[in-house]
Amino acid sequence: MPVAAYQEILADAKQAGAMTAIDAAGPALLKALGAKPDLVMINRGELAETLGCSPRSLRSDRALIAAARRLMTLGARIAVIADGPRAACLATASEIHRLTPPAVQARSAMGGGDALMAGILRVLLKSPENLAAALSFGIACGA
């Protein structure tokens, strides 16, 4: 898929009045941020790759929040950073929420991030201002 494809799809959806979200990394995400998506979902490793830094440099909460803010500077309204069994972060220009998933006996990590994003979007579509509840429901879905 061409790098600009996500940006074009997001721009078309936004123009039609849809809430837009993307789960991507690297050059495709950087290009897509030009369409100002409502939500960007990314994991810590992908975030480091996308911003050109090492995953180790994003270990602290302070560094992770700074990276989330960088995504917002580049065009995201909401940045969600997943980190497997560790706390996920949902950030906007005015709010930051962190929540650790419950300890579960995982059968597979496949689809966990997709379920997290779907849960967040479900709440935001009904109640756009309820960011803490969106992250909580997304975490439950992804667990």
114 is annotated as an active-site residue: yes
Here the tokens at position 26 are 């690297």
Nearest to 80 by CA among 30, 138, 8, 141: 138
Instruction: Give the Cα separation of 16 and 141 in Å (integer).
Output: 28
Q: What is the DSSP string of 11-57?
A: HHHHHTT---EEE--HHHHHHHGGG--SEEEEEHHHHHHHHTS-GGG
Options 12, 23, 83, 114, the catalytic residue? 114
Instruction: Give the Cα separation of 101 and 4 in Å (integer).
Output: 34
What residue type is assigned to position 128 of the chain? P
Instruction: Give the Cα separation of 79 and 38 in Å (integer).
Output: 9
Q: Among all residues, which ones are annotated catalytic?
A: 114
